Structure 1
């Protein structure tokens, strides 16, 4: 290094209040898992709850982030594909370890749990459960992504965000349109295929008997769309309602596909306040298939 270059470097360092021993060129510290989580908390738009399932499930706050994967469910397959893409922080909407609260005690001796836990550790990954606050975001992050994926922005009721109005169509055509747009293999439908659909109500994810009944019984709602529900509760109720003479229908999408596009939207949302590392949506595979349409 020439005397001129050395003197110039010392002058620049001195002007910044730094010593000549400082490494050059300056490199900022890598983004950490903890910093990503703090940015999510700062941008989600609601106060962070004390009681929540939204926690760091695997990995440590100080782990440097190489890339971020947004996904509906952190299955082993998703974790493997994320790792192969260099994405070592996984933001998942649903649990990683088989219960809503990600409780370890019931499965800690199970070989599948241990295999998954070890995989995460060996690959230097972290998993953050992002459920409660993404639903709490206004508008609901999952609902926003699903509406965008279905192209229902113009059909949404501004006063009742779960409800949608359509040009009159048959239940069969309406269900086929959803099936095609969301690429669903195993949708299930209850109701007369020729039932005229003008108004639908969507409740993404799991829907129990309450509020399922009040949703369905709204007089202008023709069809209720859910991710999943107990077959001996809401499904039986809908069957009885139809036999009693009510012109109603139920569409069961499957839990995963009923919220998946919400995490696709989450990847776009995070890009608004994280630009140091790549952020990608990693799709979770629909778990079911029909024997008449085997998986290739």
Structure 2
């Protein structure tokens, strides 16, 4: 019996149940087409889409959308922009199906993106608390610089951004994947959970980083490490590829990692 794209989508959303409001959708493709292969990725960049074709995969499951914005509609924002138009034409000509898997993955019984990050860091045994938007770790007391170097090495990323004193010893760590670094969430969290360090993907620079700056000036032992949005969420999409390969052993499943969007000079 053939496995259709709709079969895969149904399996993905089953642990949550159908959401009435979500950005997740099959943006392109035929839901009744048979799946020849699956690629998971953080972002469906044109390079990722081209790689999917090379791998004979006709279903791309991406955490973010293909056209540089969070919410649909996709076609009305950029009009005749040539980059948008060329990418859309490529997708239509290729016959690829693109399913965005954002809200459902975050709403699994344990957030799949966060679980992937924790597993990639081998911090499973340090988890003290899981909440919908963050997790709290209790790690052996370690300096900020050593934690930063560990994150770089373990996640295989070229650099991280650090706020606070490099020699500060940290044991209570708040972990927030993706765009969850805003002050309204993180600043109260640092006091409520008695955190020494917050590690997140991305957030406004004038909020949490400036709070940490003032905290350090006041003599408080607080620190911040910013991984980058993609760098914090890609492990969750690799975890998804592993899950799908177990669920559909007859279908080749690949995780395609993108190169960092920024270059460091």
Name the TM-score, length of structure 1 as normaliser: 0.84
Q: Tell me if 1:187 matches 2:160.
A: yes
Q: Is the 8 A contact 1:185 1:289 kept in 2?
A: no
Q: Distance in 1 between matches of 2:67 and 2:199?
A: 27
Query: Where does residue 71 of structure 1 map in the other structure?
Result: 41
Compute the displacement of 1:210 (Å).
1.2
Query: Where does residue 288 of structure 1 map in the other structure?
Result: 262
Q: CA RMSD in A?
A: 1.6
* CA distances 1:118-156 after superposition (whole Å, capped 9, x unpaired): 111222101000001101001111111111111111111
Alignment of 1:27-176 (within 5 A): 28=1, 30-42=2-14, 45-104=15-74, 105-158=76-129, 162-176=135-149
* CA distances 1:187-225 after superposition (whole Å, capped 9, x unpaired): 100010110011111011112211111122235310001
Q: Is the 8 A contact 1:68 1:90 kept in 2?
A: yes
Q: Is the 8 A contact 2:162 2:223 kept in 1?
A: yes
Q: Distance in 2 between matches of 1:240 and 1:103?
A: 41
Residues paired across the two proteins, number: 261
Query: Where does residue 16 of structure 1 map in the other structure?
Result: none
Query: Where does residue 264 of structure 1 map in the other structure?
Result: 238
Aligned with 2:63: secondary structure? Answer: strand
Query: Where does residue 223 of structure 1 map in the other structure?
Result: 197
> Aligned pair in 2 of structure 1 residues 159, 256: CA closer, same or farther (>3 Å)?
closer
> Aligned pair in 2 of structure 1 residues 159, 260: CA closer, same or farther (>3 Å)?
closer
Larger of the two Rg values belongs to structure = 1
Q: Distance in 1 between matches of 2:221 and 2:247?
A: 47
Q: Is the 8 A contact 1:73 1:92 kept in 2?
A: yes
Q: Is the 8 A contact 1:57 1:102 kept in 2?
A: no
Q: Is the 8 A contact 1:186 1:254 kept in 2?
A: no
Out of 217, 222, 233, the position equivalent to 2:207 is 233
Aligned with 1:87: secondary structure? Answer: coil
Q: Is the 8 A contact 1:96 1:102 kept in 2?
A: no
Compute the displacement of 1:158 (Å).
4.8
Q: Distance in 1 between matches of 2:202 and 2:63?
A: 16
> Aligned pair in 2 of structure 1 residues 159, 119: CA closer, same or farther (>3 Å)?
closer
| Consecutive unaligned residues in structure 2, runs of 5 or more | none
Q: Is the 8 A contact 1:31 1:276 kept in 2?
A: no
* CA distances 1:94-139 after superposition (whole Å, capped 9, x unpaired): 1111111143211232111111111112221010000011010011
Q: Distance in 1 between matches of 2:89 and 2:143?
A: 50
Compute the displacement of 1:274 (Å).
2.0
Name the TM-score, length of structure 2 as normaliser: 0.93
